[in-house]
A and B are shown apart, each in its own frame.
Chain A
Amino acid sequence: MSYDDKIDIRKLNIWFGDKHVINDLDLKIKANAVTAIMGPSGCGKSTLLRALNRMNDVIKSSKTTGDVFIGEKNIYENGTNVYDLRRQVGMVFQKPNPLPKSIYENIAFGPKIHKTAKGKALDKIVEKSLRAAALWDEVHDRLSDSAFDLSGGQQQRLCIARALAVDPEVILMDEPCSALDPAATAKIEQLIRILSTDYTVVIVTHNMQQASRVSDYTVFLYLGDIIEQGDTKAIFENPKHELTEQYITGEFG
């Protein structure tokens, strides 16, 4: 793995019951950059994403073989602490999912369960995370309000702040803007670009324009196989594979 690769996926295979969803996949993801995973519905994008924080383990019918190295550690090795992995690799979901608690308690949830801070130190972490997610100015005076009082876009930024609060190295985003209006989407896309300076961001997206706006590298996934990958600009301007070109020009969704 070269020094600027953060994630190294080797011979990854994932089944849900009998369905072979990810097919002998190899992929390297660069550190401190935004990598977009693109492809038509049902091609395995979310499954691939969830393999990176082992959230597929939660699904009873799933079976995974292969190795995924994050940094130097193989997260599929026997004896891996899955709970610490999920702290290290944060996830933001398609539909914002704030916890039924106050804004403060949402952000504090992660540090509390990992026992990383309490009291004033926790207050500082909450502020730092909300600032990093560009939400502090809008909520600093109402941290004890319910998270459900926020708008959709604010809730999604809350979810990002919540993931940041446990000091991750990688942030996974599964179509983070698909449930948001254009104004909220723009704010989050801006945020994603800023986050990539400190974190490795992997984003699944349906929206090609978004992929080209937001990502440095793009991976085109089709039915569980990688068809093409590389510099985002290069892929969009000069796709090498016919399927990629068809997808980009909207011949299939």
Chain B
Amino acid sequence: MGSQTKERILFFALGVPVVICLLAFFWIAATLFTGVGTLSPEFLTTSALKGGALEMIVGTIYLFLGAAAIAGPIGVFAAIYLVEYAPSGKFTRIIDQAINNLAGVPSIIIGLFGFTLFSRQLGFGISLMAGWLTLALMILPIVIRGSEEAIRIVPKSFKQAALALGATKWKAISLTTLIAAAPGIVTSVILGIARVAGETAAILFTSCVIITRGLPSSPLEPVMALSFNIYVRIVAQGEPPESVFGIALILFFIVVAFSLIAIILRVYYRRKQPWLH
């Protein structure tokens, strides 16, 4: 067999997983799309008390926005510390490993942890706040790793230039490296959101209830969420899958939209970062 033929076979072989992924994606989208008939502007904006989806949509959005607001800054500062300040040694390696481990913890266990610490011990009960803190734990490793990567690929020459002009280490980092890394950091937060927007196990017993009376007026109140609602309908209320396709489609759309935004941002900012080429 000639080497060119081998190349061709390899090319197609590598393409097979991609094709499988695309097929799976479109099959899911198409299946969910059969439920689009249940969606209407009224449905999306009416309260659950009248059979609408308003509180679950808003609840989902509140949950991931709050979690991102908490995990974002903490994650970015952790990344800055790990890349720029942490001494190389055992302690730093342990932190590194801990972040990897956190990323691998099953979400139900994170939910259990959140329930025990935030809901019970800290007294937040079943609330938006407990959900925020729990989901933040899931977003955190994604933001830390993504931000670390974004900071690491910024040329060190920027920081050197700033230092040689008399900047302190923090000013050199914040006024050059961080600004250059900002697009990558923002992308990592958006990817974190995409990860938790559809999260069910972590919010199962930390923040969600089957139905609420209108939107929450404080973070100490529980919320409804799209993923939780799908779970309840199928498992607790024994409804057929088709009945939740509409809601699932909304959730699917939110997650896909955020992933797309992350991709578009990355492509857009690539052009504005000439030092990457």
Q: B-contacting residues of A (Cβ < 8 Å)?
A: 53, 55, 58, 83-87, 90-91, 93, 95, 97-100, 109-110, 113-114, 146, 148, 159, 162-163, 166
Contact = CB atoms under 8 A, between A and B. Distances in A.
A83 B166 CA distance: 4
A90 B164 contact: yes
Nearest to A94: B157
Nearest to A91: B164
Contacts of A85: 166
A114 B166 contact: yes
Interface string B152-166: 000101101111111
Contacts of A99: 158, 161-162, 176
A11 to B, nearest CB: 25
Given A93-B157, A99-B158, A146-B274, A113 B163 contact: no
Contacts of A113: 162, 165-167, 171, 175
A100 B164 contact: no
21 contacts: A53-B164, A55-B163, A85-B166, A86-B163, A87-B165, A93-B160, A93-B161, A97-B155, A97-B158, A99-B176, A100-B158, A100-B176, A100-B180, A100-B273, A100-B275, A109-B175, A110-B165, A113-B162, A113-B171, A159-B161, A166-B166
Nearest to A97: B157
B98 interface: no
Contacts, number: 63
B168 interface: yes
Given A99-B176, A100-B179, A166 B165 contact: yes
A98 B274 CA distance: 12
A162 B157 contact: no
B122 to A, nearest CB: 40
* Most B-side CB within 10 Å, residue of A83, A93, A95, A100: A100
* Most A-side CB within 10 Å, residue of B155, B161, B165: B165
A162 B165 contact: yes
Contacts of B165: 86-87, 90, 109-110, 113, 162-163, 166
A207 B224 CA distance: 72
A114 B168 CA distance: 10
Interface of B: 155, 157-158, 160-168, 171, 175-176, 179-180, 273-275
Contacts of A159: 161
Contacts of A87: 165-166
A222 to B, nearest CB: 26
A83 B161 CA distance: 13
A85 B179 CA distance: 26
A197 B197 CA distance: 64
Contacts of B168: 83
Contacts of B161: 93, 97-99, 159, 162
Contacts of B273: 100
Contact of A110 (B155, B158, B160, B166): B166
Given A86-B166, A97-B161, A146-B274, 7 more contacts: A85-B166, A91-B164, A100-B179, A109-B162, A109-B175, A110-B165, A113-B165
A80 to B, nearest CB: 12
Given A100-B179, A100-B275, A109-B175, A95 B166 contact: no
B269 to A, nearest CB: 11
Given A109-B165, A110-B165, A113-B165, A97 B160 contact: yes
Contacts of A162: 161, 165
A113 B168 CA distance: 9
Across the A-B interface, the 4 shortest Cβ-Cβ residue pairs: A97-B157, A87-B166, A86-B166, A91-B164
Contacts of B155: 97
A161 to B, nearest CB: 12
Contacts of B162: 99, 109, 113
A146 B179 CA distance: 14
A110 B157 CA distance: 16
